[in-house]
Amino acid sequence: MSVDDDDNEIDDDELSYNGFSDDIFVPQIKQKQAVVPLKTLMQSYTKGKIFISKDNRCCKKHIILDRFFQEDLNSIRVYSTTSTIEISDLQFMFKKLAISSEAGVIGKVADGSLSEEEMYIFTGLTWGNMRDLQKKTTSLKNSKNRTKMQAIFVFLFKLRSGSSDALISSTIGLKNKQLVSHYCQEVENSFKRDILPTRFGIKTLSRETLIQDHTTEVAKKLYDCNYRLFLICDGTYIRHQKSSNNEYQRKSYSGQKKVPLCKPFTVCTTDGFIIDMLGPYYANQNDAEIIKLVMEDPHGLRTLMREKDIFILDRGFRDVEAFLKKEKYEVLMPALKGKRNQLTAKESNESRSQSQQQAFIPKIGLYCRIVSFLHNEFGQRLDKENVDEIVGKMKARKHTENTLAAEVIEQAWDRRKVPFQNILPTDFEDFPEMTYNDLKLFLTGTYQLKQAAGYLGEMINKDGSGNIQFVKERNNILKFSFRPATLIVKAIAVS
């Protein structure tokens, strides 16, 4: 941080001296800049153990909402380990510290003393995100009992945790649990009036924006298409309590999950941007039935779609594939095995290409339009590194025949019982060394790498030793035995 005198700037080095102790004191530096606010002085002492005497001044760019930016606070260096303070100032400081210690979480939100880390833990957003959201909720006003920021904080904490009103009020220091539902209702009404009608949903978006700004390079290059819209659709579910309405009770009961639930329907782009969250629909409606209902609305998704646009769907939509193709849309869907033991090499390669896009379906906790908006506004967009290398590798192998699969069938390795042995470090001295980047290119992404950690966990004994079993059929073919996530035991051959 630097302290300015009009246009004369004092560098950090001019204010920095060696030395450090539990309490650090910064002497008064009289410059013609903004006086450091009281809240900022208290922040520097409580968060950084740095005492700044009153009437100090600094550049306005270092302060926001009467608080130092965290990076500026961290950059303040020791000037001296001694300072003087008037008794009245010391009494005032202790009084403020006493009040602050009793304020609780909700009080720290009001005065801005809640740390960046704590804000993210409670809400999933940063202070910057919260201030941005505060500006957008224009109809929400401060009241005598709470600030606008406090109401938004309570609402987002409720969304993020799903805890009861009583638990939330006790955790953050509200007087009673009724305030939680009251604040949430106020913020929800503000979203309905100020944000959702103009900032979220099919009617607020253009086709061109979705293609240019929210279609990943992987999708464009993998299918050699820059002018078609890629949409990923999927239905999910939210469990809820049993309804007292008999008709809805029957429609909301899921025979598959054995619980009452409803189904929001997500429509998003390949980078994870949510176009709309439709529904919720009944539990007894499957994905194919829901997408038919969606496409029957002439003022809905059809307004964005054109002929030859691409739907990326999972196998749950197989019953509606013919309907969408009849409407002149292209459908990308992983192949079905049917009664076969496995897919052909061509089907497997095509399925992997389509799964590259399906991995971007956002899994949002409560699946509501407000959370979807927050996801779009503050969440990270998804795209892959090494796009050209990954796409090039996938295209080159798209029509490559799986010779290993043919050899496994010919030699009956998948049916022949062979004794497995535990792996030793000396068994694979000739195995090629691969960097993390090499593995990402080989696996066309990071999904399989993340899954590998779970498989490895099952292969490690309690004493830390490995329990990986293999058979070396030939010098260039290894057969491993492991336990997949959905099967009991399986042997996999790797060349």
* pLDDT tens profile 32-84: 577 777 677 777 776 767 777 777 777 777 776 666 777 777 777 777 777 77
**pLDDT bracket for residue 361 (50, 70, 90):** very low
Kind of pairing between the strands at 330-332 and 310-312: parallel
Task: Tell me: do 174 and 219 sit in the same domain.
Answer: no
pTM: 0.66
**Structural domain includes residue 424:** yes
Residue 411 · residue 456 · CB < 8 Å: no
Task: Tell me: do 163 and 71 sit in the same domain.
Answer: no
In the predicted model, what is the mean pLDDT of residues 126-137? Answer: 93
Task: Tell me: do 419 and 467 sit in the same domain.
Answer: yes
Non-local CB neighbours of 44 within 8 Å, separated by 6+ positions? 50, 51, 52, 68, 73, 76
**Structural domain includes residue 268:** yes
Q: What is the pLDDT at residue 5?
A: 39
Q: What is the pLDDT at residue 195?
A: 92
Q: Strand, coil or helix: what is 76? A: coil
Return the axis-axis angle of helices 104-111 and 87-102, rounded to nearest 10°: 120
Residue 229 · residue 215 · CB < 8 Å: yes
Integer Cα distance of 242 and 252 in angstroms: 8
Task: Tell me: do 177 and 74 sit in the same domain.
Answer: no
Range of the domain at 142: 103-195
Task: Tell me: do 216 and 301 sit in the same domain.
Answer: yes
Task: Tell me: do 226 and 291 sit in the same domain.
Answer: yes
Tokens of 112: 């801005």
Q: Which of 46, 33, 42, 36 is CA-nearest to residue 6?
A: 33
Task: Tell me: do 432 and 486 sit in the same domain.
Answer: yes
Q: What percent of the chain has pLDDT over 70?
A: 71
Residue 29 · residue 55 · CB < 8 Å: no
Integer Cα distance of 355 and 313 in angstroms: 9
Q: Which of 159, 181, 161 is CA-nearest to residue 171?
A: 161
Integer Cα distance of 221 and 311 in angstroms: 16
Q: Which of 317, 249, 315 is CA-nearest to residue 282?
A: 249
Average of per-residue pLDDT values in the chain: 76
Tokens of 319: 């019953």
Max Cα–Cα distance, the chain, nearest Å: 91
pLDDT at residue 358 is higher than 90:
no
**Structural domain includes residue 487:** yes
Integer Cα distance of 475 and 457 in angstroms: 27
Task: Tell me: do 150 and 165 sit in the same domain.
Answer: yes
* CATH code of the domain containing 284: 3.30.420
pLDDT at residue 128 is higher than 60:
yes
Number of other CB atoms surrounding residue 345 within 10 Å = 18
Integer Cα distance of 253 and 261 in angstroms: 6
Q: What is the pLDDT at residue 363?
A: 32
Q: Identify the burial level of 290 via C-beta atoms within 10 angstroms of its C-beta, where 0-12 means exposed, 13-18 middle and 19 or more buried.
A: buried
Q: Which of 262, 137, 121 is CA-nearest to residue 188?
A: 137
pLDDT at residue 101 is higher than 60:
no
Query: 61 vs 359, which has greater pLDDT?
Result: 61
- Which amino acid belongs to residue 224? D
Integer Cα distance of 441 and 462 in angstroms: 33
pLDDT at residue 211 is higher than 50:
yes
Integer Cα distance of 197 and 200 in angstroms: 7
* pLDDT tens profile 160-190: 998 999 999 999 989 899 999 999 999 999 9
> Cα–Cα distances in Å, from 367 out to 197, 262, 297?
18, 11, 22
Query: 70 vs 295, which has greater pLDDT?
Result: 295
> Which H helix or E strand runs over 274?
strand 274-281
* pLDDT tens profile 223-235: 777 889 999 998 8
> Which H helix or E strand runs over 105?
helix 104-111
CA atoms within 13 A on the CB side of 409: 7
**pLDDT bracket for residue 355 (50, 70, 90):** very low
Q: What is the pLDDT at residue 100?
A: 60
Task: Tell me: do 172 and 226 sit in the same domain.
Answer: no
Asked which of 77, 100, 123 is the last residue of a domain, the reply is 100
> Which H helix or E strand runs over 213?
helix 207-213
Q: What would you report as the CA-atom Rg of the chain, rounded to the nearest whole angstrom?
A: 30
In the predicted model, what is the mean pLDDT of residues 375-403? Answer: 72
In the predicted model, what is the mean pLDDT of residues 423-429? Answer: 71
Task: Tell me: do 230 and 298 sit in the same domain.
Answer: yes
Task: Tell me: do 73 and 47 sit in the same domain.
Answer: yes
Task: Please tell me the least confidently modeled range out of 206-210, 273-277, 367-371.
Answer: 367-371
Count of domains for the chain: 4
Kind of pairing between the strands at 24-26 and 34-35: unpaired
